Amino acid sequence: MAANPDKLSQVREEYETTVVRHLNEEFGKELTLGDKVADRVAGFGGSWTFIFIAIAALVAWMVWNVSRGPAAPDPYPFILLNLALSSLAAIQAPVIMMAQNRAEERSHVEAEIDYAVNLHAEQEIDDMQQDLHRIQSDLAEVRRESAALRSLVEEVLQRVGSR
């Protein structure tokens, strides 16, 4: 038996509007300013926009310093640039880790919710299977009784017909 797409959409929408919204609200309540900053930094630091801006800034810095020749504030091999990039990485890495840790906590809670939903669904399926077995058993009993009644009716009809 195929699942009804409308019913699936309704269940999915109900899940998203209740469970996920409540989860978002609960995690949103617990966010400190540092958590919000970490999310923003991780969101931007892990984007293509950041990568393209960083590449453009690096190329611009190198071209500018090479074009100035010996008067450049950071001549080749760009030690100041290297220091800036190392400092950025040293600051950005733990901030991104904080955001990832919180995302992991949220994923863990979502997994627990999914487990509870799946467990409840499994229990409902087991209940439906028991009901189905009971209905099958009752139907078999009805068939046996129907066959017995049919044979009685035939017997009565034969007796009436033989008179």
On whether the pTM is more than 0.85, the answer is: no
> Which one has a higher pLDDT value, 91 or 25?
91
CA distance 82 to 73: 13
Predicted confidence (pLDDT) per residue in 51-104, tens digit: 999 999 999 999 999 999 989 999 999 999 999 999 999 999 999 999 999 889
CA distance 99 to 45: 11
Query: Can you give the pLDDT at residue 53?
Result: 97
Angle at 69 between CA 63 and CA 72, to 5 degrees: 75
CA distance 37 to 26: 18
Per-residue pLDDT, averaged over 28-53, amounts to 90
Give yes or no for residue 1 having a pLDDT over 60: no
Query: Can you give the pLDDT at residue 20?
Result: 72
